[in-house]
Amino acid sequence: MRTRDWPIRSKLTALVVAPVTALLALWIFATTLTFGPALNLLSARTLLYDLGRPGEVVVTELQRERRLSVVQLAGTTELPALAEQRERTNRAVAELRRRVDGEALRDAADDLLETRVDQLLTALAALPAGRDFIDDRKVDRAGALGLYSGMVSAAFQAFAGMATLTDPDINRQALALTALGRSRELLGQSDAMLAGALTAGRFAEGEHSQLVQAIGNQRWLIENAVADLPETGRAAYQRLTEGEAFTRLRTMQDTLIEANRSGRPPVDAAAWQASHDAVQQQLRDFELAEADGLTDRSVPMAVRILARLAAAGVLGLVAVVVSVLVALRVGRTLVRRLSGVRTAALELAEHRLPDVVTRLRRGEVVDVAREAPPLDHGHDEIGEVGRAFTEVQRTAVQAAVDEVTLRRGLNEVFLNIARRSQSLVHRQLHLLDRMERRAEDPDELAELFQVDHLATRLRRHAEDLVILAGSAPGRGWRNPVAMVDLIRGAISEVEAYDRVDITAVQPAGVLGRAVGDVIHLLAELVENATAFSPPDTRVTVTGEPAGDGYALEITDQGLGMSAAALQTANTRLASSPEFDPAQSARLGLFVVARLAARHGVQVRLRPSGEGGVTAVVLVPTDLVTTEPPAGPDPATLGAASADPSRRLARTARRGAAPRPRTRPSTARPAAAAPPAGAPTSDTSPANGLGDEGSASSDATADDLDGLPRRQRRHTPTAQPRSTVTDTPTPRSPEEVRRVMAALQAGTTRGRATAITPAAPAAPAASTVPPGPATPPEPPTATERDA
């Protein structure tokens, strides 16, 4: 039996129940031992009146019937008195049977007495058959004497079984009375033998010896029985023996002992009969009186025993009850105190410590002494455990405070580094923008665009630190942005942008307050898709309205993820957990979860049909709006007859056609637009990072969709590409404008009808009419703050 894992209440209960049960069992045992003798003494009266008195009557009637039967067998005629005596004997036997069959006697008698009573009834059942033998003279006097003597002996065996009282004095006196009865039986046997001899005229063979033996046994039993009687009984018996009848009977017994063994008994029959009947009746009365006195003495004794038993039982029961109450009180106290320590431990582990950590993360000030109050559980061992646990509580709360303080400090460090990096990246992007505006060589301009793209990605990673530190990035838009432009902006922040295809994207827009975060979220998912798929596969992006928002799907063709990994990732995306530095390999998922939780965007990963993973982004309805209008066609830019309602269709958006920046007539010459999907600079509309906060006076059609486009430009004075080449033949501004407009319109139409966008390539630079240089666009307000 393993008791180690038992609850403390069960252990204390077992500790209490065992001794209390033993004490209760001992009390019951002692009570039973005392109660049994008392009941035995009380049952003496029942035994006397239900067995003793009826049995004594049966013995007396059997003795009389025996004498008459022996006299009849000694003579030659039947005695009428024998028939009458048999009737009296039958009535006595019937009464005895009725008494011994009662419930009272059976309840008071033990097993030994019941056995002897059954033997007595069995012997009495043979009485009718014995009578028949006597009537038919099939037995002699000795046989008849033995028949009746056996029944009387069975009765005295039953009487001796009654003497099983627990009190030794009373039990000894009961045995003495039984011995007196036996001596009286021997006197009766002597009377029967002498009556037969007197009727026959002489002793039969061996009959004198039996008579002498009976007389001797009778005298010996009387002497021993009287010695065990109480003082009053001995005195009464002494007075009885001094009477005239006893004296004459003893004298005649002495004469019979000395008589001739075969001659006629030397006593007068009438004198013997008178003396015998008198002595027999006196002895019977003496026995009955002593039996009544014995019974009367046993009842008060039984009452005293019961009184002592009651007192001992009550005291024992009180002791048991007190023991139980003390054990319960001590046990409850121990259980309550131990339960208090347990409850305090669970309260700290499950509620208080997590609540302290949560409040610390919210920036609240936590009082360690108030959150870990001392536990008062006394001054014993349990109290020492409580005080030790109080110290553990304080240490744990203090450790939580220190940990959150350390986390907060690390977040501040991350945020400070990220803000500094952002400031440098913004300055770098503006510097690149100015260099791009001054660049003339198309190859050099393409390289500047690549550096611009790397700087854009660097800015996104810096924003990751800001997001993980718990702050919001500085980018923002006032006006809604088209969904396709938002997707293009996200793609432009990915290294392998040339592997991403924008397929079916239904028209929609996103409110300006969520544009920057949604771009960042999509960029992280697209970068994961390109990083965890083979380089020769494509990543597709689709978008369509859903029942409760706008759904974007980013699908790769990689190796996919296991079911357990998908479940873990989806759990992390849905719950936005605290950043764990040990999970730095899944840094993008932390960022996506933070951004999604900020705007209520739902992100879920599931297996794709091509073996990879599909990231489903559900933008909520409160962030989705209608698609904003696109800018004018560059082929009609500046024409008086241009249709003002002409806009780039959704197919043009899917082809990532550039949206021109409308400048005044004094604008710098513009370079050819970059190919679809190519990386753009910080202020480029392709990456969704336009200067929303500048609100400059030159905002034109480039701001119609919220994401302005940059065009490659070079300085009005073209520098020679090589010192050994001749200066190119100049063209008129009108000719250059017509050529570039036609080239750009054709490129737009071709991309709109293409299934897969073309790989990025830097077109050759072209010239535009000279004019005054346009100054660099000023940084946004948020960039200045960063």
> What are the tens digits of pLDDT across the range 559-610?
888 888 888 888 888 887 666 665 555 677 778 888 888 889 999 999 987 7
Q: Which residue has the higher pLDDT, 373 or 728?
A: 373
Q: Is the pLDDT of residue 238 over 70?
A: yes
Mean pLDDT of 63-67: 90
Tell me: the pLDDT tens digits for 658-685? 333 333 333 333 333 333 333 433 333 3
Q: Is the pLDDT of residue 393 over 60?
A: yes
pLDDT score, position 297: 76
Cα–Cα dist 605/617, whole Å? 9
pLDDT score, position 296: 77
Q: Is the pLDDT of residue 693 over 60?
A: no
In 3D, which of 369, 375, 371 has the Cα closest to residue 344? Answer: 375
For residue 783, give every residue at least 6 positions away whose Cβ sits within 8 Å of its Cβ, in sequence order, or none. Answer: 426, 474, 691, 693
The confidence band for 506, taking pLDDT boundaries of 50, 70 and 90, is very high
For residue 274, give every residue at least 6 positions away whose Cβ sits within 8 Å of its Cβ, in sequence order, or none. Answer: 245
Q: What distances in angstroms separate CA 402 from CA 121, 396, 409, one per listed residue?
A: 100, 10, 10
Cα–Cα dist 438/445, whole Å? 9
Amino acid symbol at 8: I
Cα–Cα dist 719/767, whole Å? 12
Q: Which residue has the higher pLDDT, 189 or 361?
A: 189
pLDDT score, position 3: 65
Q: To which residue do tokens 């006597």 refer?
A: 134
Q: What distances in angstroms separate CA 245 from CA 185, 216, 248, 281, 287, one per listed residue?
A: 17, 18, 5, 11, 17
Q: In angstroms, how far is CA 718 from the centroid of its own chain?
A: 85
Decide: 558 and 496 in contact? Cβ < 8 Å: no
For residue 621, give every residue at least 6 positions away whose Cβ sits within 8 Å of its Cβ, in sequence order, or none. Answer: 548, 549
- Residue 785 has phi, psi (to 5 degrees) of -65, -35
Tokens matching residue 194: 């002498």
Cα–Cα dist 560/634, whole Å? 43
Tell me 718's DSSP state: P
Q: Which of 32-41, 141-150, 645-654 shows the lowest mean pLDDT across its residues?
A: 645-654
pLDDT score, position 165: 67
Q: Which residue has the higher pLDDT, 200 or 91?
A: 91
CB atoms within 10 A of CB 2: 5
Cα–Cα dist 565/571, whole Å? 10
- Residue 303 has phi, psi (to 5 degrees) of -65, -40
Q: Which residue has the higher pLDDT, 124 or 653?
A: 124
- Residue 685 has phi, psi (to 5 degrees) of -70, -20
> What ranges in 348-380 are assigned the alpha helix state H?
353-361, 368-371
pLDDT score, position 668: 35
- Give the DSSP letter string of 613-675: EEEEEEEEGGGEEPPPPPPPPGGGTT-TT--TT----HHHHHTTPPPPPP--TTPPPBPPPPP
Mean pLDDT of 18-23: 79
Decide: 397 and 370 in contact? Cβ < 8 Å: no
Beta strand pairing call for 602-607 and 613-620: antiparallel
Helices (H) and strands (E) in the chain, counts: 23, 8
Q: What distances in angstroms separate CA 559 from CA 258, 555, 556, 568, 571, one per listed residue?
A: 137, 12, 9, 17, 21
Tell me 713's DSSP state: B
pLDDT score, position 582: 56
Q: What distances in angstroms separate CA 621 from CA 9, 72, 489, one per listed residue?
A: 57, 135, 21
Q: Which residue has the higher pLDDT, 746 or 773?
A: 746
pTM above 0.75, yes or no: no
Say how many residues make up the chain.
Answer: 786
Mean pLDDT for the chain overall: 75
**Residue 170 buriedness (CB in 10 A; 0-12 / 13-18 / 19+):** buried
Mean pLDDT of 338-351: 79
The confidence band for 694, taking pLDDT boundaries of 50, 70 and 90, is very low
Decide: 394 and 348 in contact? Cβ < 8 Å: no
Strand, coil or helix: 14: helix
Cα–Cα dist 552/554, whole Å? 7
pLDDT score, position 470: 66
pLDDT score, position 729: 55
pLDDT over 90, % of the chain: 12
Tokens matching residue 159: 């009487």
Angle at 53 between CA 47 and CA 57, to 5 degrees: 145
Q: Which of 170-174, 276-280, 292-296 has the highest mean pLDDT?
A: 276-280
Q: Which of 299-313, 514-528, 565-579 has the highest mean pLDDT?
A: 514-528
For residue 575, give every residue at least 6 positions away whose Cβ sits within 8 Å of its Cβ, in sequence order, or none. Answer: 593
The confidence band for 2, taking pLDDT boundaries of 50, 70 and 90, is low
The confidence band for 464, taking pLDDT boundaries of 50, 70 and 90, is confident
Cα–Cα dist 98/78, whole Å? 31
Q: In angstroms, how far is CA 161 from the centroid of its own chain?
A: 63
Mean pLDDT of 727-737: 59
pLDDT score, position 198: 86
Q: Which residue has the higher pLDDT, 766 or 351?
A: 351
Q: Is the pLDDT of residue 541 over 90?
A: yes
Mean pLDDT of 144-151: 90
Cα–Cα dist 712/489, whole Å? 18
Cα–Cα dist 439/446, whole Å? 10
pLDDT score, position 550: 94
pLDDT score, position 673: 36
CB atoms within 10 A of CB 359: 15
Half-sphere exposure of 31 (CA within 13 A, CB side): 14
